[in-house]
Chain A
Amino acid sequence: DIQMTQSPSSLSASVGDRVTITCRASQSISNYLNWYQQKPGKAPKLLIYTASSLQSGVPSRFSGSGSGTDFTLTISSLQSEDFATYYCQQSYSTSLTFGQGTRLEIK
C-alpha cells in the first residue's frame, strides 16, 4: 500500500495566520491527492481534490499544491471555523490510503 505521511501531526495557530500542512507519499502518486477537514463528532468534508482543485462551496482561503510525492494544503488566513483535523488521501492506487491527520488547534 502507498503510505501517506503528514506533518506536523499537530499545529497551534491564531486567527489570521497563514498555515501550511504537508503530505508526503511513499511513491509518486501524480496529482491524485485529496484533502479533507474533520471537526469533532462530524464526518470529514472534502476540501481539495486532485491536489489543487477547490471543491464547490469551499472558501478560497484554502488551496492545495504539489505533485509526485510532496503536497501542501495552505490556509491563507485562518478563521475560527478552520480549527479541525485535516487528512490527505491518495487515489493513485485502487487501495485508497489516508494520512494520519494534522490537528490544527487555537494558540
Chain B
Amino acid sequence: QVTLRESGPALVKPTQTLTLTCTFSGFSLSTSGMCVSWIRQPPGKALEWLARIDWDDDKYYSTSLKTRLTISKDTSKNQVVLRMTNMDPVDTATYYCARTLSGSGINIDYWGQGTLVTVSS
C-alpha cells in the first residue's frame, strides 16, 4: 500500500524559507523509475507542479520557481524534502507530495493528503 504524508509549518512569514518533508511508504526511491514530485494548489486555483526527484538523484524544477527551490531525498528514511526560499503571500497554497513514475511519460499516481501553508506576517 502506497502512502505519502506531507509535514511542515502551517504558517510562515514573508521572506522566510519553507521546509516541507514528504514521508512515504509502500515503494522505494532507489527503484528504477520511481520519483517523488511536489505540487501546490492555491485556494480555489489550479494545480502547479514544483519539482521532482528521481531514483538516480536527478532533479527537475519548475521553470518559473527554480531559483527558489531545492529538492533532496533520504532514501534510507523514505523521505523527500522541499525547500522554498523567500516566501511571499502569493505562495499560500496546499502543498502536495506525490509518487511519480518515470517510464512511458511521467505519471503522478499516488498523492499525499496535502498540507496548507499560509504566508503571512
Within 8 Å of chain B (Cβ to Cβ): is A68? no
* Contact among B62, B64, B111 for A44, CB-based, below 8 A: B111
Q: Which residue on chain B has the smallest CB distance to residue A91?
A: B106
Q: Which residue on chain B has the smallest CB distance to residue A100?
A: B46
Chain A 46-76 near chain B by CB (<8 Å), digits 1 or 0:
1001100001000000000000000000000
Main secondary structure of the interface of B (DSSP, over half): strand
Q: Is the CB of B60 within 8 A of A55?
A: no
Q: Which residue on chain B has the smallest CB distance to residue A48?
A: B107
Q: Is the CB of A50 within 8 A of B46?
A: no
Q: Which of A11-57 contact B (CB under 8 A)?
A: 31-34, 36, 38, 43-46, 49-50, 55
Q: Is the CB of B62 within 8 A of A95?
A: yes
| Count: A-B pairs, CB below 8 Å | 62
Q: Which residues of A contact B107 (CB under 8 A)?
A: 34, 46, 49-50, 91
Min CB distance A53 to B, Å, is 8
Q: Is the CB of A55 within 8 A of B109?
A: yes
Please choose the segment from B47-55, B70-78, B81-89 that sits at the chain A interface, where 4 or more of its residues have CB less than 8 A away: B47-55
Chain B residues with a Cβ under 8 A of chain A? 37, 46-49, 52, 60-64, 96, 98, 104-109, 111-114
Q: List 22 A-B contacts (CB under 8 A).
A: A1-B63, A32-B105, A36-B108, A43-B96, A44-B47, A44-B96, A46-B107, A46-B108, A46-B109, A50-B105, A91-B105, A91-B106, A95-B49, A95-B60, A95-B61, A95-B63, A96-B37, A96-B49, A96-B52, A98-B46, A98-B48, A101-B47
